[in-house]
Structure 1
Amino acid sequence: WMLVEVTPTVFTYERNPYYFKVDAEGNQLPYIDMVRDELVADVEMSTMKVLAGELDFLREDATLESLALYKESEEAGGYRVVLLDMHVTPVDISLSFTYPDPVWQKVVRDVRFRRALNMAINREEIIDAVYFGFAELPTAVPSVYDPQKANQLLDEMGLNKRDAEGYRLGPDGKTFVIPFEIAMHAADIVPVTELVVECWKKVGIKATMKTIDPGLWGTRKAVNELKATSMWTSLPVWHNFAHFFWGDTTIGPPWDLWYTTGGKEGEEPPAEVKRFLDLLYQSLAVSPEEVQKVRNEYLRLLYENVYFFNIVDKVKYSLIVSERLGNVQHKGFAITTNFAAEQLFFKP
């Protein structure tokens, strides 16, 4: 489609008569002559338009928390809900390994600390409370919930002293705090982070959470000012987007800068992190026969080192489509419908 008209709230596209794709019978694509893309104020407004039958297609703003409401109004709204797979792991937790605080770095770079926090996360509770059972335990990092073992590891690494409230003291004798700063990039980021904060408190790690403007979040992340945050990643899901992983998380902005500038800027990462990064980028340039071997190796390193906390996997995505819309997929990633929209058509 070609963009033919723009207003502050509506983008209008018309069919490109010279589009290069055809269907199996030789008919030129796309089938649909015009696309009208409307910008609304928020997710709630998108939901109201769905319920009123005013939309033919909605993916990005469709949420699991509204699934029951969507289903109740399917017939009246003239649409159907298709549950497909999410193309990312929606809320993953990352701690900055490079935040300029020696006490912070000493603690978070200790793999025992990351393993302890990882096994202190009650993922089954998160799957039930936030995703209504429409998710699975991750395989990219260990997913066993074992707060007793977590407490043991934290004690072993020297975080065995506590303040008056029962929170663990850092190497400097002060209460060690993990301060989350998150942005409302998606509806599940806040509730998932809140539950992780509570899980970590149960093993004596004081964590706090503050929401900030998405623009400010991006700025603070870029200049290495975030100690802890939550965001989606694609690394555990598909290898060909591995290079986006480093941008999704905040575990080492100066390390990334060092790597992408060939060591001219930033901070040189430890050898095992360089190996991990080498494998990520190598996976994009090797033959199809070598991809799985490389991917298995960087996933092994992720599993052992817990560079970030993969919370859940295989989350379902609510795709809202008009009953009149044909050629809608029934399995796979929901986002692929966006990239194959030329095959959609309206039934007579």
Structure 2
Amino acid sequence: MKRILLTAGLAAAWALMAPLASAAEVGSYVSPPYFADAEAKGDLPPVNERLPDHPSVATMDEPGRQGGEMRMLMASPKDSRILVAYSYARLVGYDRQYKIVPDLLESYDVQEGRIFTFHLRKGHRWSNGKAFTSEDFRFWWEDVANNADLMPAGPPRILLVDGEKPKVEIIDETTVRYSWSKANTDFLPALAAAGPLYIYAPSKYLKKFHQKYADPAELEAAVKDSGQPSWAALLNRRGNQYRNDNPKLPTLDPWVLRVKPPADRLVFVRNPYYYRVDAQGQQLPYLDQVVFDVAEGKLIPAKAGAGETDLQARYIRFDNYTFLKQAEKNGRFKLYLWDDSRGSNFALYPNLNCNDEGWRAVNRDVRFRRALSLGIDRHEINQAIYYGLGKESANTIQSLSPLFKPHYQTAWSSYDVSTANRLLDEMGLTQRDDENFRTLPDGRRMTIIVDTAGESTEESDILELIKDSWREIGIDMFVKPSQREVFRDRVFAGDSVMSVFFGVDNGLPTPDMSPQEFAPSTQQQLMWPKWGQYIETGGMNGTDIDLPEAQKLAALLKAWRESTDTQARAGIWGEILQIWSEQVFTIGTVANIPQPVIVAKGFHNVPAKGIWSWEPGAHFGLYKPDSFWEENPKELSPVENRLQ
């Protein structure tokens, strides 16, 4: 088994990858055979009338053929949202160099980092054939985001700069402008995210559920039939673009949901009005259909090894590699190993906002966090769990990032029992019980209860190794598994002293990517959820930041958001990462564990080498699955092979 080596810099890695798009024009267009019957019957207009005047033209390693399907395995009907991420149709999106470029938009202009002018593609249509125009932006802003019934807290905070809403101007049918008095550096990255900020909505469809536009009697009947408590609840339920659970909701994505969740089999068929073509003029996506078969998460690796999927990485872990490599010999699929972008495969999160006063005081002492980190034998974890293929590291950015410095990974991350014990003694934690475990100042044994979602044996094995090494510094551990929702609720409420989860999502940042993962910004941050909630709710919930080093991080994040100069942003990033590495707010273990990726035999344009990154990149989304194609397309059943 050969290790995928990280290159010295981002440029070298990205040079191996094909460009995402081309500005070239295509003279004529080729309609998918999938739509031949609908076109012949007059149910669909010709392809030239379905595409924008200037469609996006994709370039790829291997131009393909239209037809076939792609099967994937998911653990829940709620995973229908994952196709929104993988489809990665965004106003603007990241290319393979992680630069933000126009996607749904034909172009955009930015002035002074605060004035954003968006130019839509003339003739672009939603999946139901209705025009995608500036009216969809106006409707969302005026009638949704600023409607107290639909959004009681007001527009998303990402659209507020020091509390200031954007000025939204509808210039013409294909031009929209957003402006603030100060820079909004988070705006474009939010639009390009795996779970994007939607600043538009299919207005013609949703107006029939909106009190301002709908016939009162018809709306009242629709609310009653839906079982929702109000028209606002109905509209929010029917109009959630990211959830992707309403087959009637128009979309701009390459595939349209055709089976309403919950179901054991979710079917998505191609969008007849999709905005992209290949260099030969063939309308994308190549694949007619995507199918999600819902299975128990723990069974997905076995099902994948048996050939029940065409593309799979979600729910596949490195500890499945040996089994899958053996199954690869059957010839049904190829097994690739992609580099993982996370700062650490697993990281510990001391909860600085926990309710237990004794543990909260200890967690907030940097000497304690450093001692716990020094008390972990990462080399043992790397060898025993990952066959020595990982990078023993703190939970921080990786060497592929242009912001990387080696000491970010090495600070307080060596195995040093002597220094760890000295730091704990300096804290006054010198008292021991009859089993030689240290005690808290109130006399309780220092048994750290680590909350976990308990989703892998790999995680359990790592925690067992950490428990053994922490005994050498007088610290005991008890692992408390629970379902993911319960796990998160415990952390958010402050009932958890410490938790374990994946490390930072974006281990490959550039200066122009937001450093918000490294500063209090959201409740989702397991080390300071109440501070994040305070920021997210504008002080209505949670608690204000009261630790100087965390306050400094919040101030630096604000400074980054106000900066419009890349060099200045890089300097701010450096300050943030230095504080992060010295303060050990999270405790990393091993980074860059290869991510197994299963690709069915005969599937093309899935990179053999890639970067598995949720944010940025949306996992497969960065590589545009609308360009994936099947060498020998499967024949679809008559029920599925039809436009509904």
Question: In the superposition, relative to structure 1, how do residues 333 and 285 fare at CA in structure 2: closer, same or farther (>3 Å)?
Answer: farther
- Conserved? CA contact 2:345–2:592, under 8 Å: no
Specify the SS of the correspondent of 1:184. Answer: coil
Tell me if 1:76 matches 2:330: yes
- Conserved? CA contact 2:356–2:497, under 8 Å: no
Distance apart, 1:57 and its partner CA: 0.9
Show the 5 A alignment for 1:98-137.
Answer: 98-137=353-392
> For residue 265 of structure 2, what is the aligned residue in structure 1?
10
- Conserved? CA contact 1:178–1:227, under 8 Å: yes
> For residue 309 of structure 1, what is the aligned residue in structure 2?
587
Distance apart, 1:158 and its partner CA: 1.0
1:194 maps to amino acid: E
- Conserved? CA contact 2:392–2:589, under 8 Å: yes
- Conserved? CA contact 1:85–1:314, under 8 Å: yes
1:252 maps to amino acid: W
Question: In the superposition, relative to structure 1, how do residues 181 and 338 fare at CA in structure 2: closer, same or farther (>3 Å)?
Answer: same
Specify the SS of the correspondent of 1:188. Answer: helix
> For residue 289 of structure 2, what is the aligned residue in structure 1?
34
Distance apart, 1:221 and its partner CA: 1.7
Tell me if 1:344 matches 2:628: yes
- Aligned counterparts of 2:506 and 2:588: Cα–Cα separation in 1: 8
2:418 maps to amino acid: Q
Tell me if 1:273 matches 2:550: yes
- Aligned counterparts of 2:456 and 2:564: Cα–Cα separation in 1: 35
**Which structure's relative contact order is higher, taking Cα pairs within 8 Å and 6+ residues apart?**
1
- Conserved? CA contact 1:329–1:337, under 8 Å: no
Tell me if 1:333 matches 2:588: no
Distance apart, 1:54 and its partner CA: 2.2
- Conserved? CA contact 2:345–2:502, under 8 Å: yes
- Aligned counterparts of 1:206 and 1:241: Cα–Cα separation in 2: 37
- Aligned counterparts of 2:523 and 2:486: Cα–Cα separation in 1: 16
Show the 5 A alignment for 1:1-348.
Answer: 1-6=255-260, 8-43=263-298, 45-88=299-342, 89-139=344-394, 140=396, 142=411, 143-234=413-504, 237-239=507-509, 240=513, 242-243=515-516, 246-269=522-545, 270-280=547-557, 283=560, 286-287=563-564, 289=566, 290-335=568-613, 336-339=619-622, 340-348=624-632
Specify the SS of the correspondent of 2:307. Answer: coil
Q: Deviations over 1:123-144 (max 9, x none)?
A: 1111122223231122535221
- Conserved? CA contact 1:178–1:207, under 8 Å: yes
Question: In the superposition, relative to structure 1, how do residues 34 and 281 fare at CA in structure 2: closer, same or farther (>3 Å)?
Answer: farther
Distance apart, 1:187 and its partner CA: 4.7
Distance apart, 1:172 and its partner CA: 2.2
- Conserved? CA contact 1:154–1:160, under 8 Å: yes
Specify the SS of the correspondent of 1:73. Answer: helix
Q: Write 1 or 2 for the structure with the bigger share of helix.
A: 1
Question: In the superposition, relative to structure 1, how do residues 291 and 321 fare at CA in structure 2: closer, same or farther (>3 Å)?
Answer: farther
- Conserved? CA contact 1:181–1:210, under 8 Å: yes
- Conserved? CA contact 2:341–2:506, under 8 Å: no
- Aligned counterparts of 1:15 and 1:282: Cα–Cα separation in 2: 44
Distance apart, 1:248 and its partner CA: 4.7
Question: In the superposition, relative to structure 1, how do residues 243 and 125 fare at CA in structure 2: closer, same or farther (>3 Å)?
Answer: same
- Aligned counterparts of 1:14 and 1:261: Cα–Cα separation in 2: 39
Question: In the superposition, relative to structure 1, how do residues 283 and 199 fare at CA in structure 2: closer, same or farther (>3 Å)?
Answer: farther
Question: In the superposition, relative to structure 1, how do residues 316 and 172 fare at CA in structure 2: closer, same or farther (>3 Å)?
Answer: same
TM superposition score normalised by structure 1: 0.91
Q: CA RMSD in A?
A: 2.3
- Conserved? CA contact 2:341–2:505, under 8 Å: no
Distance apart, 1:236 and its partner CA: 5.8
Give the length in aligned residue pairs.
347
- Aligned counterparts of 1:81 and 1:276: Cα–Cα separation in 2: 41
Q: Deviations over 1:30-63 (max 9, x none)?
A: 11111111110122x2223222222111111222
Question: In the superposition, relative to structure 1, how do residues 84 and 9 fare at CA in structure 2: closer, same or farther (>3 Å)?
Answer: same
Larger radius of gyration, structure 1 or 2? 2
1:308 maps to amino acid: T
- Conserved? CA contact 1:53–1:77, under 8 Å: no
TM superposition score normalised by structure 2: 0.51
- Aligned counterparts of 1:28 and 1:286: Cα–Cα separation in 2: 41
Q: Deviations over 1:235-278 (max 9, x none)?
A: 56144474456555422222222223344443222232022134
Q: Unpaired runs of 5+ in structure 2?
A: 1-254, 397-408, 614-618, 633-644
- Conserved? CA contact 1:9–1:38, under 8 Å: yes
Judge which range, 328-337 or 280-289, deviates more.
Answer: 280-289
Judge which range, 335-344 or 52-61, deviates more.
Answer: 335-344
- Aligned-residue sequence identity (percent) comes to 27
- Aligned counterparts of 2:362 and 2:552: Cα–Cα separation in 1: 22
Question: In the superposition, relative to structure 1, how do residues 287 and 199 fare at CA in structure 2: closer, same or farther (>3 Å)?
Answer: farther
- Aligned counterparts of 2:431 and 2:457: Cα–Cα separation in 1: 37
- Aligned counterparts of 1:213 and 1:50: Cα–Cα separation in 2: 24
Specify the SS of the correspondent of 2:542. Answer: coil
Specify the SS of the correspondent of 2:620. Answer: helix
